[in-house]
Amino acid sequence: MSTARDMVHVPGGEFVMGSDADYPEERPAHLRRVEGFHIDRTPVTNAQFAQFVRETGYVTTAETAPDPADYPGADPALLVAGSLRFTPPPGPVPLDDYRRWWNYVPGASWRRPQLDDAPAVDDHPVVHVSHHDATAYARWAGLDLPTEAEWEYAAHGGAGGTRFQWGDEFAPGGRAMANTWHGEFPWQNLDPDGHQRTSPVGAYPANEFGLVDTIGNVWEWTDSPATASHHAAVVGTTTTTATPSGTRAATGGAPASCCSPGGSAAPGAQPRKVIKGGSHLCAANYCRRYRPAARQAEDVDSATSHLGFRCIRRT
């Protein structure tokens, strides 16, 4: 295992976690304190993940056929190794059915992540990784996945107090500050920087801690159990999903947001974790989750073309 890593020290501190101004699951805004830690400056890249696979022989969730016992009632023809890829429709579509832009693609994985089936690019964030995969990588590296509070504090660059990582204006002076969707989702992407999907890590400005891509590019796994709101987190209520999963087995389930299919919030067998930061699919006309306070639940076995992670080392 390589020990060389580009990590940033984040001093402990208190910050305002959550938001009362946006989606219900972000409420209530409240003071939270975290202890100091080191965190990856960038999301884990394809090159870093490839090293892990070479040294361990690890096989990801997306590269493993689902166990039919875990998905009773699923179409057996769908229980093949693969993952979800975003496919833009040719024109405007109703926004109430994510199946119009998400497709379960047999053979899709971190190795060939995007629509054109081209090999993964070394300096792009690894995607098509489940929570299981992210955890396995972190353990191999002698690290951990961040909690939601640690991730949000780091993304804010400290105490926060602004809607976005960089201030209260989404595009100050017309400048794109993160890799998000520009245009009408899900069919028209007018990204001024030419990024139709993931972008190289560090293509956009760093925050006050020196971290890049905490907002946009790819959603990032945390190790915090998903809850319906921060209030639910206080009282200890977690969110699970029905079986079969809408992501892993490509059956059933309601979307958790515009840009992540997720599963339903009904009680079931699949635990869920919080993901943070939004992705290149978050859009002003539908999913405004390109903010540090944004959060959503994701099945731990989910793997999609816009979901990655970064690691921390607690000090």
Using CA atoms, how far residue 8 sits from 45, 149, 213, 241, in Å, is 16, 17, 14, 35
The CATH code of the domain that includes 36 is: 3.90.1580.10
What pLDDT, on the 0 to 100 scale, is given for residue 246? 41
pLDDT (0 to 100) of residue 115: 77
Residue 252 lies in a domain: yes
Sequence-distant (6+) residues with CB within 8 A of 18 are 26, 27, 28, 29, 30, 230, 293
Residue 2 located in a structural domain: no
Report yes or no on 161 lying in a domain.
Answer: yes
- Confidence (pLDDT) at 194: 82
Confidence (pLDDT) at 24 = 94
Look-up: residue for tokens 């540090």?
292
C-alpha distances in angstroms, 194 versus 179, 199, 200, 201?
A: 10, 9, 12, 15
Domain that holds residue 201: 7-314
Q: Which DSSP helix (H) or strand (E) runs through 53?
A: helix 46-56
Structure tokens at 102: 């998400």
In the chain, how many domains are there?
1
Q: What is the mean pLDDT of each run of 10 residues along the chain (315 residues)?
A: 78 94 93 96 98 98 90 84 94 92 93 88 97 98 97 90 87 92 94 88 95 97 94 58 40 42 46 96 93 95 96 93
Query: Three-state SS for 240?
Result: strand
Predicted pLDDT of residue 267: 38
Q: Would you say residue 275 lies in a domain?
A: yes
Q: Structure pTM?
A: 0.90
Phi-psi region of 113 (alpha: psi -120 to 50; beta: other; left: phi over 0): alpha
| Within-domain flag for 130 | yes
Contacts of residue 185, Cβ cutoff 8 Å, sequence gap at least 6: 95, 258, 259, 281, 283, 285, 286, 287
